[in-house]
Chain A
Amino acid sequence: MVTDNVKKLLILMVTLLVAHTAQAQLQIEIISGNASALPIAIVPFQWEDASSPPATSVEEIISGDLYRSGLFDPMDTADMLERPVDEESIRFGTWRLLKVDYIVVGSIRTPADGRGHELVYQLFDVHTQERLLSQITTVGPGDLRYGAHRVSDAIYKTLTGVPGAFATRIAYITATGLGEDLRYELVVSDADGFGPQSVVGSPEPLLSPAWSPDGKKLAYVSFEKGNSAIYMQDVATGSRELISGGKGINGAPSFSPDGRNMAMTLSRTGNPEIYVRNIATGRLTQLTQHWAIDTEPVWAPDGKYIYFTSDRGGKPQIYRIPPTGGKAERVTLEGEYNARASIAPDGRRIAVAHGRGNEYRIAIWDIDSERFTVLTPGVLDESPSFAPNGSMVLYATREGTRGVLSAVSADGSVRQRLILSEGDVREPAWSPVIR
C-alpha cells in the first residue's frame, strides 16, 4: 500500500518534471465554410532578420488563422503574380484583377537590441487603395508564431471590428491507451493546435480544466489520490497546489473574473452543491443547498452571477445565483437537457450541451430573446467553450468511438475539426486573451 503510493507519487513527479512535448499534432480541417468570406492576400513577408527563416512562414500562419475564422478566403501564395513588400511596390490594378479585396505586405527584421523579431506590416483596401493598418509587432526570440497570431488579431479587428482571438491558447484533456495503460494528460497548445505541451499526466482520470483570467494558471480535477480533487497549476513553471480534496466530489473549478475566487462543486454534505472559495484565504461560502445535483458553476464576465447546472426541476437546466448567495433562478427555459454553460464575453449568450433523447448538441441560449440556436449536428457534443472574443465555440465531439475537438462560429455557419493523431481528446477550454 505504502510502496504503491510512493510509486504513484514518483511517477507523478517524473511526469511533472518532464512536461514533455506531446508528439501528436492537431490537424485542422474546415467542415463547412462561409460563401461570403472576404478575399484577402497575405503576401510573403520579406525576411530581413539576422536569424534563419523558420520552417513555417509567417504568411502561412496568418493565412491559416484568417481562413479558420471562416470570415476570410486567403489567396494561395502560388497564385500571386507579384510579391510586393511595401506600399510603393503594390500595383493595385493587378490585385483588383485577381479579385482580392484586401492585401497585407510586410517584412521581418531583427530589432535594434538584437533580440527577437519585428514584424513590420501594412494592410490596404485594394479598391480604395487606402492604408487601413500600419504596425510593427515586436516579439521575443522563439515567439515568431505568437507574433504572426498577433498580426492576425490586428487584421481581424481592423476588418471585422471585433478583437481577434488567435494569439490565445487552448487546454484540453487527452486519454490514450487502454486498460492498465490508460493515460490521461492535460495539454496546452496554441489556439491553432500548434505546439501541444503536456502540463500534467496521470494514470487516473483528469477533467474540467479552467483558465485563470490572466491565462497563467489552470485549475483542474485529478483522481490521482483515488478521489476527485481540485488543483491549481502554474502553466509556465508547473508548480501547483491542492485547492480542495475533501470527502466526496471536488469538481468543476471556475475562476472569478478578478481571479481572487474560485467557484466549485463539493459534495462534503453528501450532495453536490456550489461553493465559492477565496483562493488566498481559503474561506469557503456555500451558495446552493438543494437535494438536486448542482454543478458546473461558471462566472458571468461581469462577475454578477454564477451560472450552474441543476436538475432541481427534474432534468438538468441552467440556473444562476449571485456569488454572495441568494435565490437561484432558472435561465434556460426550453429543451429537456441543458448543461455545462459557457458564457460569451458579452454576457448575453450562453453555450450549453443541449440534449434531446440520446442526442447532445451544442446550442446557444440568448438571454434577451430567450431562444436557442442549435450550432452543431453531432450526436454526443459536449463541453462548449467560447473564444475570448465570442466569435467561436470550441467543443468536444465524437468520430466513431473517438473523441475529437471541433470549433464552430457563434452563428453556426463555419465548423472546423481539430484532430489529434491518437487517443481521445476532450474538454477543451479556450484561454483568455494573454497580453
Chain B
Amino acid sequence: MKTVWRLTLAMIIALALTACQTTPEAAPEPAPEPEPAPVVETAPAADPHDFTDSRNFDNPESLLSKRVIYFDFDKSTVRPEFRAIVSAHAAYAAAHSSARVTLEGHADERGTREYTLGLGERRGNAVMGLMSAQGARGSQLVVVSYGEERPTCRVSDEDCWSQNRRVEIVYTAR
C-alpha cells in the first residue's frame, strides 16, 4: 500500500515539474514549438552486429535470430552462406559461459533411418566444430541427431528435402 502511495506521489510531482517547465516556454506566442522530448526513456536499440547481446535473439536484423543451418544432400559441410550465422552463435556462446546449446542434426527421408541418424550427427558435429574453433567451449555444446524422424515438411521433392536437411541451434540456457 505504502509503495503505491509513494509512486502516485512521485508521479504527481513529476507531472507538476513538467507543467512548471512548459509554462514559461508557452508564453512567447510566435516562437516555434520545440520537438517534445519523449516522455518514456528507452534503452538504446541493440546493435544487430553485437552477437553478445541476448536481445538480438529476437531481432530479425541480427544473425543471432537465425538458428537453422541447411545442408546439401548426403553432405555435412557448412555452406559459406551459413558460416556467418554459426560465427554469431559461437561469439555469443564464447561471451556467455552459462549458455548451453543443443545442435539438433536432421536429414531428409532418403536413405535408411539409422544411416540418416549418422548423417544428422555428422552435420551437428560440423557446426559444433566451427563453433568450438571460434571460442565456444566443448562443455557448452551437445549434438543430438534425429536423423529423418523429425521432418519440418513431408513432401517427397527437393524443395521439401532441402528444408529437412538441417541443424537447428537450440539454446537450452542463454
Binding site for B on A (CB under 8 A): 205, 207-208, 223, 226-228, 247-249, 251-252, 265, 267, 270-272, 293, 295-296, 309, 311, 315-316, 337, 339-340, 353, 355, 358, 360, 379-380, 382-383, 398, 401, 426-427
Q: How far is the CA of A252 from the CA of B121 in the complex (A)?
A: 15
Instruction: Please state if A208 and B114 are interface contacts (CB–CB under 8 Å).
Output: yes
Among residues of A, the one whose C-beta sits closest to the C-beta of B157 is A358
Interface centre among B115, B143, B149 (most CB of A within 10 A): B115
10 further A-B pairs in the complex, CB-CB below 8 A; given A205-B146, A249-B118: A228-B145, A270-B125, A272-B118, A296-B115, A353-B112, A358-B110, A380-B156, A383-B113, A401-B154, A427-B113
A202 CB → nearest B CB, Å: 11
Indicate whether B119 reaches chain A with its CB closer than 8 angstroms.
Answer: yes
Indicate whether B135 reaches chain A with its CB closer than 8 angstroms.
Answer: no
Instruction: Please state if A251 and B149 are interface contacts (CB–CB under 8 Å).
Output: no
List residues of chain B with CB within 8 A of the CB of A358. 110
Q: How far is the CA of A226 from the CA of B150 in the complex (A)?
A: 13
Known: A293-B118, A380-B156. Is A208-B113 also a contact (CB below 8 A)? yes
Q: How far is the CA of A271 from the CA of B74 in the complex (A)?
A: 16
Instruction: Please state if B122 and A339 are interface contacts (CB–CB under 8 Å).
Output: no
Instruction: Please state if A401 and B149 are interface contacts (CB–CB under 8 Å).
Output: no
Instruction: Please state if B109 and A380 are interface contacts (CB–CB under 8 Å).
Output: yes
Q: Which 7 A-B pairs have the closest CB atoms?
A: A293-B118, A205-B149, A340-B112, A339-B112, A272-B118, A252-B114, A295-B114
Among residues of B, the one whose C-beta sits closest to the C-beta of A207 is B113
Instruction: Please state if A249 and B121 are interface contacts (CB–CB under 8 Å).
Output: yes
A-B contact pairs, 11 of them (CB 8 A): A207-B113, A227-B144, A228-B144, A249-B121, A293-B122, A295-B114, A295-B117, A355-B111, A358-B110, A379-B156, A382-B112
Known: A226-B144, A380-B109. Is A265-B118 also a contact (CB below 8 A)? yes
List residues of chain B with CB within 8 A of the CB of A340. 112-115
Q: Classify chain B: how many residues form its interface, as a range.
A: 20 to 34
Residue from the list A270, A309, A398 in contact with B115, Cβ < 8 A: A309
Indicate whether B155 reaches chain A with its CB closer than 8 angstroms.
Answer: yes
B33 CB → nearest A CB, Å: 55
B153 CB → nearest A CB, Å: 10
Binding site for A on B (CB under 8 A): 74, 109-115, 117-119, 121-122, 125, 142-146, 149-150, 154-156
Instruction: Please state if B115 and A293 are interface contacts (CB–CB under 8 Å).
Output: yes
Residue from the list B114, B125, B150, B156 in contact with A265, Cβ < 8 A: B114
Q: How far is the CA of A267 from the CA of B145 in the complex (A)?
A: 11
Instruction: Please state if A248 and B112 are interface contacts (CB–CB under 8 Å).
Output: no
List residues of chain A with CB within 8 A of the CB of B143. 248
List residues of chain B with CB within 8 A of the CB of A295. 114-115, 117-118
Q: How far is the CA of A251 from the CA of B147 in the complex (A)?
A: 11
Instruction: Please state if B149 and A207 are interface contacts (CB–CB under 8 Å).
Output: yes
List residues of chain A with CB within 8 A of the CB of B113. 207-208, 340, 382-383, 426-427
Q: How far is the CA of A92 from the CA of B118 in the complex (A)?
A: 62
Q: How far is the CA of A309 from the CA of B112 in the complex (A)?
A: 10
Instruction: Please state if B112 and A401 are interface contacts (CB–CB under 8 Å).
Output: no
List residues of chain B with CB within 8 A of the CB of A265. 114, 117-118
Q: How far is the CA of A359 from the CA of B112 in the complex (A)?
A: 12
A174 CB → nearest B CB, Å: 13
Q: How far is the CA of A309 from the CA of B115 in the complex (A)?
A: 8
Q: How far is the CA of A360 from the CA of B116 in the complex (A)?
A: 14
List residues of chain A with CB within 8 A of the CB of B144. 226-228
Q: How far is the CA of A248 from the CA of B144 in the complex (A)?
A: 6
Among residues of A, the one whose C-beta sits closest to the C-beta of B125 is A270
List residues of chain A with CB within 8 A of the CB of B125. 270-271
Instruction: Please state if B146 and A223 are interface contacts (CB–CB under 8 Å).
Output: yes
B50 CB → nearest A CB, Å: 29
List residues of chain B with CB within 8 A of the CB of A249. 117-118, 121, 145
A289 CB → nearest B CB, Å: 15
List residues of chain B with CB within 8 A of the CB of A316. 111-112, 115
Q: How far is the CA of A228 from the CA of B105 in the complex (A)?
A: 12
B99 CB → nearest A CB, Å: 17
Q: How far is the CA of A339 from the CA of B146 in the complex (A)?
A: 18
List residues of chain A with CB within 8 A of the CB of B154. 401
Among residues of A, the one whose C-beta sits closest to the C-beta of B76 is A293
Q: How far is the CA of A426 from the CA of B109 in the complex (A)?
A: 12
B6 CB → nearest A CB, Å: 38
A142 CB → nearest B CB, Å: 35
List residues of chain A with CB within 8 A of the CB of B115. 293, 295-296, 309, 311, 316, 339-340
Among residues of B, the one whose C-beta sits closest to the C-beta of A308 is B114
Residue from the list A223, A248, A252, A315 in contact with B149, Cβ < 8 A: A223
Residue from the list B118, B145, B156 in contact with A398, Cβ < 8 A: B156
A365 CB → nearest B CB, Å: 15
Residue from the list A205, A247, A309, A380 in contact with B110, Cβ < 8 A: A380
Known: A228-B145, A398-B156. Is A337-B111 also a contact (CB below 8 A)? yes
Known: A248-B121, A270-B125. Is A339-B149 also a contact (CB below 8 A)? no
